[in-house]
Amino acid sequence: MPKLPPLNSLRYFLSAAQTLSFKVAAEQLFVTQAAISQHIKTLELHLGVQLFNRGTRQVSLTEEGKRFLPHIQAGFEHFNKGVALLSEDANPDVLNVTVVESLSTRWLVPRLQFFQEQHPEIRVRLEPCNTLRDFSGTDIDLAIRFGKGNYLGLESRFLLNDRYVLVCHPSLIEPDLTPQKLCKLPLLEESGPVTGEAWQVFLTRNNLQENSFKKILEVDDSTVTIIDAALAGQGFAVLRYNLIYQQIQRGQLMPLFEFSHPSAYSYYLVAPSHHFKKPKVQLFEKWLIEALQEIN
C-alpha cells in the first residue's frame, strides 16, 4: 500500500482547488498564502504530478488535479461523517446511567421522579454498580462514580465532595455518652480504606484503642447495609454525610461528638467526552447539579 501524503497537504489542496485561489484558501484556513503554496508543492512532489497551473493572479487545476479532486472531497466527507457519528444518539429518549449503589439507593432513586416530571420524554435506566463499567460496546451514556476523578480515557466532571460523620440511632444515646464510653455500644463497620481512615482519625483524636470496641457487623463495600443497620438501632457507624443527611435532619440518626472528617473521594460524572454533547446527558447533568444543592 503506497504511503499517503500528509493530511494537511490534502486539506490545503482541497481548499485551494475549491476556491481556485491560494489567497482565499489561506484566509479560510487561517494560514499564510506561502503555507498553502508550500504544502501543495510538498503534495505534488509526493505524488509526482503537477496539480495546479499557476498564473500571475490566478491558478487552475491541471487534468491530474481535476481527477484527484473528487477523491479528496469524498475522503473529507467520510471523515466528517465519522466524526458526526460520535455525537449521534441512537436512543435519544433513553438515558442509561451506571451509578454507585449507595448513591443510587439512598439519594438518586427517591428523586428521579422530579427529573421525569421536568423531562417526561426521557426514560432513565439505572444500573447500580460499584465498579466502573466499560463504555465501549455498551449503551451506557453516563456514570456517577465515587473516587478521585482519574479515569483513563474518560472525562470526569466534579459533582460533590463528601465527609464522614459518626452516627447512631437516638435510642442508643445516653445523657453522659462520651467517646471513652462509646465502646459500650456495638460497632457497625464498612470495611474499606476511606471509611477506615476516618475511623482511625476518630480513635487517634480521642486516644482510643480499636480493640476496645465490639464489632457486631462488618460488610465489604456495602454502605447501604450499614445505614439500614444503624437506622434499626443495631449500633453506631462511621458514614458518609451525603447519604444520611436527611435521616439526620429528621432525627432518625444522631451525629456523635460533632465528629467530621473530609473524604479523600468525591462524586464525579464520568463518560467519554463526546457523550457530554448528547442533549439527554446535558439535561440530566443540569438537573443533577441543581438537585445536589440541597445537600449542605
Asked if 79 and 131 sit in the same domain, the reply is no
Tens digit of each residue's pLDDT, the chain (296 residues): 567 888 889 999 999 999 898 888 888 888 898 999 999 999 999 999 999 998 777 889 999 999 999 999 998 888 877 766 655 666 778 888 888 777 777 777 878 888 888 888 888 888 877 777 777 767 788 888 888 888 878 888 988 888 888 888 888 888 888 888 888 888 888 776 667 788 888 888 888 887 878 877 766 655 777 888 888 888 888 888 888 888 888 888 889 888 888 988 888 888 888 888 888 888 889 988 888 887 65
Boundary-marking domain end, from 87, 119, 150: 87
Integer CA distances (angstroms), 13 to 63, 76, 181, in order: 14, 12, 81
Asked if 50 and 124 sit in the same domain, the reply is no
**Residue 74 located in a structural domain:** yes
Asked if 156 and 270 sit in the same domain, the reply is yes
**Residue 2 located in a structural domain:** no
**Residue 156 located in a structural domain:** yes
**Residue 1 located in a structural domain:** no
Q: φ and ψ at 80, to 5 degrees? A: -65, -40
**Residue 14 located in a structural domain:** yes
Asked if 68 and 196 sit in the same domain, the reply is no
Beta strands in 63-182 (DSSP E): 94-99, 123-128, 142-147, 155-160, 163-168
State the CATH number of the domain containing residue 184: 3.40.190.10
Asked if 189 and 246 sit in the same domain, the reply is yes
Asked if 170 and 247 sit in the same domain, the reply is yes
Asked if 167 and 208 sit in the same domain, the reply is yes
Asked if 146 and 271 sit in the same domain, the reply is yes
State the CATH number of the domain containing residue 70: 1.10.10.10
Asked if 168 and 40 sit in the same domain, the reply is no
Report the chain's terminal Cα–Cα distance, integer Å. Answer: 62
pTM above 0.75, yes or no: no
What total number of domains does the chain contain?
A: 3
∠52-55-56 over CA atoms, to 5°?
145
**Residue 109 located in a structural domain:** yes
Among residues 260, 284, 272, which one has the least CA distance to residue 165? 260
Q: Which domain does 235 fall in, by range?
A: 163-262
**Residue 49 located in a structural domain:** yes
Q: For residue 75, how many C-alpha atoms fall within 13 Å in the half-sphere facing its CB?
A: 11
Asked if 123 and 102 sit in the same domain, the reply is yes
Boundary-marking domain end, from 65, 87, 109: 87
Asked if 154 and 278 sit in the same domain, the reply is yes
**Residue 67 located in a structural domain:** yes
Among residues 156, 135, 142, 158, which one has the least CA distance to residue 98? 142
Asked if 222 and 241 sit in the same domain, the reply is yes
Q: Strands 123-128 and 94-99: what pairing?
A: parallel
Question: How much is the pLDDT for 214?
Answer: 80
